[in-house]
Structure 1
Amino acid sequence: MFYWGGLSSPGSAGVGLSFGDGFKHILGSKRLSELSVKRSLLAFLTADGNVTVVLLNGQSEEGQNERQTSRGGKAPSRYKRFNITLKEQIHSLSSGKHHVVLATQAGMVWEWSEQSTITKPFRSLTNKQIVQVACGDDHSVVLTKDGQLFTWGQNSSGQLGLGKDKPSSLSPQPLKSLDGIPLAQISAGGNHSFTLSLSGAVFGWGRNSAGQLGLGDKEERYVPVCVKSLNQKKTVFISCGEDHTAVLTKGGLLFTFGSGCYGQLGHNSLRDEHRPRLLGGLWGSKVSQIACGRHHTLALIGSSKMIYSFGRGEQGELGNGQRTNQCVPLPVHLPPECSPNQTVEKIMAGGNLSVACFQDGEISAGSCRGMSVLDDGIIDRWILDCENAKAWNRVKSEIKKMFSSASCINGSFIDKSDKHYKTSERQSGLDLSLARLAFEKMAQKQKILLEVESVVRQNLLRSLGSTAPGVEALRVYLILPELLRVLNKQQHGKQLAVDLASAILHLDQESLSVLRRLWTTLPYYYYRTLVKVFHSVLAHFISQMTTQICNRWDEASFLLKVLHKLHDINSKRASRLMDDYFYIKELFEVFASVPFFLSDQQKCSVFFNFMKNVDCLCCYPFILDLRSKRFLFSFLQERQKNVDPPLVCENSLCVKRDMVLADTLAYLRTTPPDFSLPLKVNFFLEDGFDAGGLCTEFFTLLSQDIRKASSVIQASKDSGLFWFSADTSGSSDEFYYLGVICGMAFYNHCYLNIGFPLALFKKLLHLSPTLSDLEELSPVEARSLKNVLMEDEEVEEIFCLDFTVQGKELIPNGRQIPVTKVNRQKYVDLYVDFFLNKSVEYQFKEFARGFSCGNCFDFWRMFLPEELRLQLYGTSKYEWEELRRIATYEHCGPLDKLIQNFWTVFLELSEEHKKRFLIFMYATVRLPLGGLSQLHLKIVRCDYEDADKRFPVAQICFGTLHLPNYSNIQILGDRLIHAITCCEDFGKM
């Protein structure tokens, strides 16, 4: 071991202790393990666990005389020596100006004070198991095994990190603003403090008069602040001087910042640096260790075994044989007795003293202790000991300590490679396969798994705050779903899932936004697990509420809200889950079994108890398939009607068949109806009761009139789809009434045979149309835009385009701005926006207002754009054999000659005649989701004496076909074709 420099008393020039021979006298033959120096106080720990404190005699900064008594052996009059021996082995120490903090192997913390020269324990930290200590001039910081920080002492500059208005404290105070961050190291300077996370995040607080916090300014910080300029630099160690800081990276780079008045930053300058600056003087050399004294810095180059120093040198602390300052790194002149075969094991610095320890038996360098993390060895020991009654108590204690600490969990399962140093808002730094294997291993012993579940519920989740101090603090929300995964397999963890969902929702907006970004980049299989653990518990609660009278809606609401957030980010992920992965299939089974429920009094009671709160599901439509949404929409419609029954129970509309559109507009303009009431239609001079069929006829005829006569929409020549006419006068109210008609059709569960593009339904739901939507409406136009985007040559020369469409400028001075390779994406985006939004802004606004009026039940917004269109427009996918499969019969059977002849004739009809049959039977060619299989067809055999002279008759309200008993297949075919092609009134001749 070699040492250079000295111990000086501040404010007393000429009074000092040079360690030419004095240090050996103080240390004797003992081996050094740890050293800490502040101003006139030196403390060192020897390999046998004993501590010696040395005080230099003279005037202190306060002008008070040093105590004249000393303990221990005889020492020179220039200093006093105090030996500290505790019953417990001491593993680390750190000193301030007037105090020393000690940590024992058992985790206890003791403090020696110059004022009393008595060593006292901190009782408040008795069970905290301290692993690291660091002292500034007048404050102290300790790190516990479970990742907590405690600080005490002076807080004049915010060095305790507790907040601006917090006073100084004589007792340790928890520094909660870093809760959840897995910490690797703590360090303290004169009046500033630092801590380092396992993944290299650096947090600083306290005095910043010279920029020693590295935040780009000189403002003091009263709470820990992340030094973002050091993010992803792979920081592995921090050392603090009185007012400067040095940071070492895993790659051997050295950054310094803070005061440079003595050259202690090494940048060939005496200037202060307010941000971390790479030390260029050691470029190309891999630094393996650093140490900061009060105003000087040491750096060890492991490959060359050379120590470099820079900064203040008045007491020889630079080891260059001189007493001058030095602002660039230069080698320390080690004495000749230093063998070239020896390796520098550790360098230390403090105050004005420097020490180098070699691997020659003189030094026993203690390793830097850290907080606990979970690994395979710990789990294996738990599994081995859990069956032993005595050992089980110890295992439970270890489980409680490990799984009560978010820091310990967040520090576990980090990526073994350097990827975890790249932790960011899109990279968690975790290897979740390690977490999955760990929890699967725990699942081998159910008692361990259930104990973990209990501790997480009772301790861990309750300790989580609303603000995460960094990305690393959010890892727990990615790890716990892996625990839930194995618990769910064993039919456990349901309440834990609810509690975890509640904790997620408790996060503030900023922390939740970061978590959402982590979810977005989560690997597919782990994201699927994340969704499944909440989804499966929600499905269980819903199943429970539909089989017994109970209320689990409060718990379900937490799960629904988290699933909603997961569903929102699903579309932003590179690897998406299919939409049906979010469906709660139990809901459709419930809705499909309504007749079964209603037939049993007890089941009926359970069903209606469940349905009391079912409207909340409309806020989470992603869990419902289209069939469930349709049922729920109808159910809530009926329930709404029964809440406050109106005096009039329907809207009655009478129209002439040849003036359907005109009569409808006159009706709407003259006497605006209550759109919440069902629509009942009568045709002028026709008898009949509307049981649904006449309403269907009405909207089919109305569709025809709108397509032919309306001036507010026009069909695209390319696609045949309808879009608003941009040339129509803005004063027309027809856009509003077109919206009302569409809303009425939707509300009354009828199809309107007008082919609108998906863009319309996106806009109704406040979603932005895209180029693909324009392609559906106008394929030729969209193809031209795609050519602009894909062209390899210079766009300007080939297409000669500017920022105008149809003579309208897309941006100011658009006529003077050519479309180029650089701005072509902007041009396409503006073109699509103009075509689908701005050019029809008034038209759509009026249409949307009318749609919401005609469809006054706001729950229609739970449908997706594709579903909304399907509900209004239906589908035209025909599987004609499906009609035979769904048919039922009266007064006949499927094997009767009449029925066999009917199906032979029908299946041989042309496609057009088959569609005419649908109009004849159902008053529309549009089909619901599921196609023909969702219709009802009942064929009734009618025995007439003059059957061959009669025609088939349809009851469109009930899907019933009255079929005369024709004598042969030829007559049946003729009569059927004549009926479906010549009828003017639907279903009638």
Structure 2
Amino acid sequence: MLCFWGSQIREGLGLVKPEQVRHGNSGIQSVCPRTAVQDMSAGRSFAGFVRDGKVSVLRLRSEDYDHHTESLELNDEIDDRIIQIVCGGDGAVLLSDSGKVLIMDKSTVCKPLKGLDNRQVIQIACGDHHSMALTKDGQVFVWGENSHGQLGLRKDHPGSPSAQHVQSLSGVPLAQISAGGDHSFVLSLSGVVFGWGKNSAGQLGLGDTTDRHIPTIINSLKLKKTVSISCGGEHTATLSKGGTVLTFGSGGSGQLGHNSFRDEHHPRVVAELWGSEVSQVTCGRHHTLVSITSSKLIYSFGCGMQGQLGNGEIITQSVPFPVDLPTECNREYTIEKIIAGENHSFALFFKEIESKGKSNPSRGVLTLNDKMIDRWLSGTDPWPTIKQEINTVFSSSASLNGSFLNTSCDVHYQTSEEHCGLDFDLVKTTFAKLSENKSLIAEVVKGVQQTLLPSLNPNPNAVESLRVYLLLPELISRLKKQKTELTEALASKFLELNSDDCKLLEKYWSKLPDDWLKGLVDLFHKASAELIGQISSGEMGYDITRRLKKFLNVLQMIYQVRCSANRDIPKRDFLIHEIKDLLDMLQATLEKLMLPFWGLDFSDDIVEDNVKLKDYCFETIKILVKFPFVADMVSKQIMFCYLQGLLQSFTDPGTIISNGNVLHINRNTVLTDTLKYLGQKTHSFCFPLQVVFIGENGVDMRGLSAEFFSLLSESLLEWEKKVLEVNKRSLVVWFNPDGMQANRDFYYLGVICGMALYNRHYINIDFPLALFKKLLQQSPTLNDLEELSPVEARTLKSLLEEDEDEVVDMLSFDFTVRGEKLIPNGDQIKVTKANRQKYVDLYVNLVFNKSVKKQFEHFSRGFYKGCPLDAWSMFHPEELQELLQGSRKYEWKELQLCASYEKCSASDELIKNFWTVFFELSEENKRKFLSFLYGTDRVPVGGFSKRSLKISQLNCPDADDRLPEAQTCFEILILPKYSDINTLRDKLIHAIKFCKVFGRA
């Protein structure tokens, strides 16, 4: 049954004879055509009816036809069954059963729409001067005028008679489209609403009256669980799950239902309908209808000057009132659809025993679900049908983004920057099923590879569009074939994302389940390791390194997420062990290139191939340096050394470059001599430093320079109060905040530290980890302050942990530190529980940044000068600290285990006595022994096992009169064959305490 009311139109609507029309109260008429109306629509000029796949239209305006209305049959124009019609300002749009779109102009000429390229359309919408279509794969197409941006293409687009793709909505899984007078709306499956076009009365709900030319998210409707939307002439209505109606836009005729005639620029609840569980809402030109299926009621509000409100009144009504429906509607029928036109209203009823889905087939975007997968696996459908479905879903980001929604407790309606809305367990089980069937997964890969990945938009317009970037890694990780190829294509898409969406994706990653995030790491880790393995096997080519960069860049994104979100994924999961193979291969290649130098002949081709391989390895190392998390510290040290050699232009391994970098130094004036030498500006920092102690016989083969930096460290500490200050409790050294007049000294301090790092020696100054964080452009934290100043840090931590407001107030802190205001008027602002975090952050910033800003700038400038190889930035702060300062973790047993012997053995009495004496030494004397033997008391990275110790027995008649000697350059201890342990003890202690002059090269 079809009910209608409003302005007078042709009796019976051309569907039944006039005498078959039933007249009810309040001017409401009803008809029951022999052939049931399956769908209908009413616009400004036409009403259209679909019956048994055929269409008829009724003119509603009589200006061009001598005030005569008529029914027009369009059957001859159509060769397909019609399932839907929507009428707009001057024409209509029709949708056929096969998904084809036809357009009808005001002269009722009907023709196919151009521009859809055989796409299957599932929804259509029609405004005054523009129309919309939604395809099965989730794409939105528009055509018509664009005077107010209603096409959503761009501001300068002139409009189009053929369908144009709204690319900015690509990837958004849509549930509905709607077109108004000159504005448009779409609704996503997660309840996200986009609007664009004319906004003169606030009909876009954005809080203003500015037109929009591209789809814009209506933020005020977020998390409202919107399930339906309808556009009127200049107003809009939305329906939320549970039946809440919100309206906005023009209210001049009361069509918003807010008991006023004001325009509303923000969505506002229709209070009179609160709690009514509205099931449908539709907007006409100047009035609105809502239906409540459970109570079989229809309410109307807005302009009723033509009787279109259905209450028997010719009035304008600003609050909802029931429509005076015929009594049989309540007994036999249920409301199927309500339609509001310009001056007319319609209600389509079905008998309750009829299936409602019979006349209104599914018009949703095709998405993946368990039933579909089971059909595919069972093979009940023909293979071509299955292939078509697979291609639709896995070729469309919108379809895939609309799949796997977590509908439990409406979680998917909470989709936001914090929640992606996916059911992760459902994804895993579904992809697991798919991966078991070779034929199905092959079609899936085909769709993903050929269509989906190339189509991904680098500037998605909604958070829902990013779901595909979470789904694809899980899918690809289950593949056996084409895995690396698809991983590379996905990596490219990750890296093409704009910065804002990239940050949002990283936020989603930070909240992934542990196994998902681990799987993401594994996917790009394995791809990276595979390529490095190929290079280690001798494969070369630009394509390999280009692909490697992609994988490492994505892996770096994941690593940063792991760090910032404190996710429980070990750093070792990011280490690529194949890097060691690469370095071994480079070493072997360099050794081969050395063979001609030693007189072994090789063909020019072999030499050329090895040179190419060497250069290619260096290029790979240069790439790896930028991704410090993939290599362990030992590998990074080796890479640093190789890059040093490259910087020093050792292209011919047999060439010895003498550059004159020789520093003549006096032990008593180490710092003065060093500063004088550096002031001459003759030192070439990229070449090794050579040290000569004046008056001593020795050639620097690293031993002398190691001792030099140890002595220089002691002299630098004498700069205390001028340049450096030592915390009396922690003994950690930091810049003197008051040392502003020592700019030159801060610079040279940096130069010396940089030189020590570059020459692979230690500076025996205990700088805090914060210094190395700053050098690596990382921000120090409260934990770093605890290392520098434990008492201050503990006080601040107690402040942050205190639960009672009164206790915080009693501490009487204000925003000053050591008399310096942290913020303007800081001495007048008390620290409270509400602002204490800000206070602590400013405190830490003052200590590590603000108070020593100039000092650090001069130091870092010098550091960069002293270490010209910027590859040091590949080290983590802790690693850089250990490289420069060495380790203070002394595993003395390890020193004994790594010792070797010359002219003696571990079982000899002399050696047994030596180790007995050594382990009796105090901790201080043990460290002095290290300085005596190696020139420094610091332990190298990796412990004593990374440093050799050879004890050579000296057999001579006057052994008891001799002191032990150290060949520092060769890490050899020359130990006379003492007659007893006491003599050994006395001589060893005397040597390590008093023998500072270099004795033997």
Global fold match (TM > 0.5): yes
Q: Which residue in the other structure is 2:755 paired with?
A: 744
Q: Secondary structure at the match of 2:411?
A: helix
Deviations 1:399-419 (CA, angstroms, capped at 9, x unpaired): 322221111111111112212
Contact 2:178 2:186 in 1 (8 A): yes
Q: Which residue in the other structure is 2:203 paired with?
A: 212
Contact 2:7 2:307 in 1 (8 A): no
Q: Secondary structure at the match of 1:642?
A: coil
Contact 2:169 2:461 in 1 (8 A): yes
Q: Which residue in the other structure is 1:541 paired with?
A: 531
Distance, in Å, in 2 between the alignment partners of 1:819 and 1:25 is 74
Summarize the Cα distance change of 1:969–1:372 in structure 2 as closer, same or farther, 3 Å threshold. Answer: same
Matching of residue 96 in structure 1 with residue 88 in structure 2? yes
Contact 1:919 1:986 in 2 (8 A): no
Deviations 1:944-963 (CA, angstroms, capped at 9, x unpaired): 34444444322111112233
Q: Which residue in the other structure is 2:783 paired with?
A: 772
Distance, in Å, in 2 between the alignment partners of 1:671 and 1:215 is 65
Contact 2:287 2:301 in 1 (8 A): yes
Matching of residue 186 in structure 1 with residue 180 in structure 2? no
Amino acid at match of 1:378: M
Q: Which residue in the other structure is 1:143 paired with?
A: 134
Summarize the Cα distance change of 1:25–1:671 in structure 2 as closer, same or farther, 3 Å threshold. Answer: closer
Summarize the Cα distance change of 1:774–1:334 in structure 2 as closer, same or farther, 3 Å threshold. Answer: same
**1:123 Cα offset (Å):** 5.8
Contact 1:57 1:79 in 2 (8 A): no
Aligned length: 963
Q: 1:943 aligns with which of 945, 955, 958?
A: 955
Amino acid at match of 1:678: P
Summarize the Cα distance change of 1:873–1:128 in structure 2 as closer, same or farther, 3 Å threshold. Answer: same
Q: 2:454 aligns with which of 443, 456, 462?
A: 462
Contact 1:649 1:677 in 2 (8 A): yes
Summarize the Cα distance change of 1:359–1:586 in structure 2 as closer, same or farther, 3 Å threshold. Answer: same
Matching of residue 444 in structure 1 with residue 436 in structure 2? yes
Summarize the Cα distance change of 1:649–1:8 in structure 2 as closer, same or farther, 3 Å threshold. Answer: farther
Contact 1:802 1:818 in 2 (8 A): yes
Distance, in Å, in 2 between the alignment partners of 1:166 and 1:608 is 52
Contact 2:176 2:187 in 1 (8 A): yes
Q: Secondary structure at the match of 1:242?
A: coil
Amino acid at match of 1:273: E
**1:641 Cα offset (Å):** 0.6
Contact 2:3 2:29 in 1 (8 A): no
Matching of residue 584 in structure 1 with residue 576 in structure 2? yes
Summarize the Cα distance change of 1:340–1:27 in structure 2 as closer, same or farther, 3 Å threshold. Answer: closer
**1:483 Cα offset (Å):** 1.3
Q: Which residue in the other structure is 1:927 paired with?
A: 939
Distance, in Å, in 1 between the alignment partners of 2:427 and 2:868 is 50
Deviations 1:771-827 (CA, angstroms, capped at 9, x unpaired): 222211111122223333344243575233333333333333333333333433333
Q: Secondary structure at the match of 1:486?
A: coil
Matching of residue 640 in structure 1 with residue 647 in structure 2? yes
Q: Secondary structure at the match of 2:295?
A: coil
Deviations 1:471-520 (CA, angstroms, capped at 9, x unpaired): 11111111111112112xx2641121111111122222333233233333
Distance, in Å, in 2 between the alignment partners of 1:862 and 1:103 is 61
Matching of residue 735 in structure 1 with residue 746 in structure 2? yes
Q: 2:553 aligns with which of 538, 561, 574?
A: 561
Matching of residue 40 in structure 1 with residue 45 in structure 2? yes
Summarize the Cα distance change of 1:789–1:270 in structure 2 as closer, same or farther, 3 Å threshold. Answer: same
Q: Which residue in the other structure is 1:618 paired with?
A: 625
Deviations 1:549-585 (CA, angstroms, capped at 9, x unpaired): 2221111112222222233333321535333332222
Q: Which residue in the other structure is 2:394 paired with?
A: 403
Distance, in Å, in 2 between the alignment partners of 1:346 and 1:617 is 63
Q: Which residue in the other structure is 2:157 paired with?
A: 166
Distance, in Å, in 2 between the alignment partners of 1:594 and 1:114 is 78
Bigger drift between 359-368 and 557-566 goes to 359-368
Bigger drift between 758-767 and 448-457 goes to 448-457
When normalised by structure 1's length, the TM-score is 0.91
Amino acid at match of 1:132: Q
Q: Secondary structure at the match of 2:748?
A: helix
Deviations 1:651-686 (CA, angstroms, capped at 9, x unpaired): 111111122122212222244522222111111111
Q: 1:963 aligns with which of 957, 972, 975?
A: 975
Q: Which residue in the other structure is 2:277 paired with?
A: 286
Summarize the Cα distance change of 1:638–1:650 in structure 2 as closer, same or farther, 3 Å threshold. Answer: farther
Amino acid at match of 2:795: S
Contact 1:179 1:406 in 2 (8 A): yes
Amino acid at match of 1:785: L
Matching of residue 666 in structure 1 with residue 672 in structure 2? no
Distance, in Å, in 2 between the alignment partners of 1:516 and 1:4 is 54
Distance, in Å, in 2 between the alignment partners of 1:581 and 1:855 is 31
Distance, in Å, in 2 between the alignment partners of 1:251 and 1:575 is 38
Q: 1:783 aligns with which of 790, 794, 814?
A: 794
The residue correspondences of 1:328-407 to structure 2 (distance < 5 A) are 328-340=319-331, 343-351=334-342, 352-360=344-352, 365-385=359-379, 391-407=382-398
The residue correspondences of 1:417-428 to structure 2 (distance < 5 A) are 417=408, 418-428=410-420
Contact 1:432 1:479 in 2 (8 A): no
Q: Secondary structure at the match of 2:503?
A: helix
The residue correspondences of 1:788-827 to structure 2 (distance < 5 A) are 788-791=799-802, 792-794=804-806, 798-827=810-839
Summarize the Cα distance change of 1:138–1:781 in structure 2 as closer, same or farther, 3 Å threshold. Answer: closer
Matching of residue 508 in structure 1 with residue 489 in structure 2? no
**1:56 Cα offset (Å):** 4.0
Q: 2:708 aligns with which of 694, 698, 706?
A: 698
Summarize the Cα distance change of 1:832–1:772 in structure 2 as closer, same or farther, 3 Å threshold. Answer: same
Distance, in Å, in 2 between the alignment partners of 1:140 and 1:453 is 35
Q: Which residue in the other structure is 1:4 paired with?
A: 4
Q: Which residue in the other structure is 2:422 paired with?
A: 430
Amino acid at match of 1:913: N
Q: Which residue in the other structure is 1:55 paired with?
A: 59
Deviations 1:533-562 (CA, angstroms, capped at 9, x unpaired): 122101111111111222211111122222
Q: Which residue in the other structure is 1:74 paired with?
A: none
Q: Which residue in the other structure is 2:470 paired with?
A: 478
Contact 2:697 2:1000 in 1 (8 A): no
Distance, in Å, in 2 between the alignment partners of 1:804 and 1:764 is 27
**1:251 Cα offset (Å):** 2.5
Q: Which residue in the other structure is 1:717 paired with?
A: 728
Q: Secondary structure at the match of 2:187?
A: strand
Contact 1:920 1:986 in 2 (8 A): no
Distance, in Å, in 2 between the alignment partners of 1:733 and 1:672 is 18
Amino acid at match of 2:522: K
Contact 2:44 2:90 in 1 (8 A): no
For structure 2, the residue ranges without an aligned partner over 5 or more in a row are 11-16, 594-605
Distance, in Å, in 1 between the alignment partners of 2:438 and 2:922 is 67
Q: Which residue in the other structure is 2:119 paired with?
A: 128
Pairwise CA RMSD:
2.9
Q: Which residue in the other structure is 1:71 paired with?
A: none
Contact 2:114 2:162 in 1 (8 A): no
Q: Which residue in the other structure is 1:72 paired with?
A: none
Q: Secondary structure at the match of 1:479?
A: helix
The residue correspondences of 1:225-304 to structure 2 (distance < 5 A) are 225-304=216-295
Bigger drift between 366-375 and 731-740 goes to 731-740
Distance, in Å, in 1 between the alignment partners of 2:92 and 2:32 is 18
Matching of residue 886 in structure 1 with residue 898 in structure 2? yes
Contact 1:346 1:358 in 2 (8 A): no
Matching of residue 979 in structure 1 with residue 973 in structure 2? no
Amino acid at match of 1:5: W
Contact 2:799 2:808 in 1 (8 A): no
Amino acid at match of 1:29: R
**1:971 Cα offset (Å):** 4.6
Contact 2:400 2:468 in 1 (8 A): yes
Summarize the Cα distance change of 1:728–1:113 in structure 2 as closer, same or farther, 3 Å threshold. Answer: closer
Q: Secondary structure at the match of 1:612?
A: helix
Q: Secondary structure at the match of 1:102?
A: strand
When normalised by structure 2's length, the TM-score is 0.90
The residue correspondences of 1:906-921 to structure 2 (distance < 5 A) are 906-921=918-933
